[in-house]
Structure 1
Amino acid sequence: MHIGCELLLLLLVACVFFSHTQAYSALQDARIIAQYKRQLELNHAKIARQLVHRANWASVGSISTNEVVKDYPMVNIISVDDTGLGGNSTGVIRFLLVDLDFTGPDWQKNNKVTFMFTDEQTLKCKNANMDPMEPTCARVIISGQVKKLPDHDPSYKPALNIFIKRHPAAANWINEHNFYLCELNIRNIFVLDFYGGPHQVNATDYYAIKI
């Protein structure tokens, strides 16, 4: 009786395994192949450029100088623009900072910051019924150093006017609170746009993309 029960159990396990294998072959294989093909078609540098260009703002992380949370990571919302003089995307991330805010004092102590852009900023993920944490809800994480642009440089005023064109409220910020124009000197780019973890993108490849 004991041997018969063991044999029956083995047969049941075999049937379940066979059924599962058949279902996997019919359903899972097609899904995995489709995902694999999509992954092969992904241009991570292009996705990074598109996310940056579409975004009006970014989440920015810095090392806090605020006495309440000193040396903790600090996160802020910063308005951004990457538009060139011809109205095209350049990939150069420009933004306004002020010393009254968190990021302003932080970068002057340690100018290393990280920007994050995500497809959820344009509600692309929500409209596709996709959670913003899903890897297929593309995001780009760009680390670099803040560079304050010299306001006496001939290119400063045109660059500032382009920024204000995209962010009209910035004209008031500059007049009332002494905001100044900066850009990010990119050191590293991570793109997460599919399952399997982030992809590192070279800054040269990022800037070479035409969109």
Structure 2
Amino acid sequence: MSRSIAILAGLLFALLSIDCCAGYSAHGRPPHPISDAVLARQLVHQSNWAAVGSISHNEKITDFPMVNILAVDDSALNGSSTGRIHFLLADFEFTGADLLHNNKITFFFSEEQTGSCNRRGVNPMEPACPRIMISGRNRKLDPKSPEYNDYMEAFNKRHKHSNIWVEAHHFYLNELEIENIFIVAYQGGPRTISAEEYYSAHL
């Protein structure tokens, strides 16, 4: 009898341990096979905004990390994904002012921006709620370039008031020149995606 109790206790402990660890590994596997690069493109394309980090030039917190929210769009005129992350900046606001002094920026995208992780009962911190951190440098787009009007029109389709931001507050259109992408998604820990892999992925 004592041996049976010991076996039962061992099994119960093992089950409890699995459940405990599963809480962070977050139910572990993607719903269907997908490459990291394709998943990254999906996260970007479904997002209307991103959290961004820059190196602060503000006299109150010089050299500290600064975070902000920026409206983003990666769409072609037909609404398809290009992977090219466009956003508006102004020199007077946090991110625009920081980049004038140190042109390094990181964008953060999470599947929870659509609310889908919460609907599945997954905490945004868990790996089963995929997230990416895209680092690079800002490039201010030339309004005289042939593609500028198309980029701006696509941006306006997602962000209906962006023309007002440009006209009234002197915001200007930019593109992130991607240097590296970190992804945390399901199993395997943080992984990297090159800019080449990201841009060549097809949705």
TM-score range, shorter-chain basis?
0.7 to 0.9
Q: Any residues of structure 2 matched to 1:151-166 within 5 Å, and which?
A: 151-166=143-158
Q: Deviations over 1:156-202 (max 9, x none)?
A: 12211111111011011011011100000000001111144211112
Q: Any residues of structure 2 matched to 1:110-189 within 5 Å, and which?
A: 110-189=102-181
Tell me the equivalent position of 1:202. Answer: 194
Query: What's the % identity of the aligned pairs?
Result: 43
Q: Deviations over 1:23-51 (max 9, x none)?
A: 649x95xx99xx67659934211111100
- When the two chains are superposed, the root-mean-square deviation of aligned CA atoms in Å is 2.6
Equivalent of residue 52 in structure 1, options 23, 44, 47 = 44
Tell me the equivalent position of 1:7. Answer: none
Uncovered stretches (5+) of structure 2, i.e. residues with no partner: none
Describe the shift of the 1:37–1:101 C-alpha distance in structure 2 as closer, same or farther (beyond 3 A).
closer
Scaled by the length of structure 1, the TM-score of the pair is: 0.83
| Distance (whole Å) between structure 2 residues aligned to residue 83 and residue 102 of structure 1 | 25
Tell me the equivalent position of 2:100. Answer: 108
| Distance (whole Å) between structure 1 residues aligned to residue 46 and residue 8 of structure 2 | 47
- Which of structures 1 and 2 has the bigger CA Rg? 1
Q: Going by fraction, where is helix more abundant, 1 or 2?
A: 1
| Distance (whole Å) between structure 1 residues aligned to residue 128 and residue 179 of structure 2 | 24
Q: Is the 8 A contact 2:29 2:187 kept in 1?
A: no
Describe the shift of the 1:128–1:174 C-alpha distance in structure 2 as closer, same or farther (beyond 3 A).
same
Q: Is the 8 A contact 1:112 1:145 kept in 2?
A: yes
| Distance (whole Å) between structure 2 residues aligned to residue 41 and residue 48 of structure 1 | 14
Number of aligned positions between the proteins: 195
CA apart distance, 1:21: 5.5
Describe the shift of the 1:177–1:118 C-alpha distance in structure 2 as closer, same or farther (beyond 3 A).
same
CA apart distance, 1:120: 1.0
Uncovered stretches (5+) of structure 1, i.e. residues with no partner: 1-10
Q: Is the 8 A contact 1:142 1:188 kept in 2?
A: yes
Describe the shift of the 1:43–1:83 C-alpha distance in structure 2 as closer, same or farther (beyond 3 A).
same
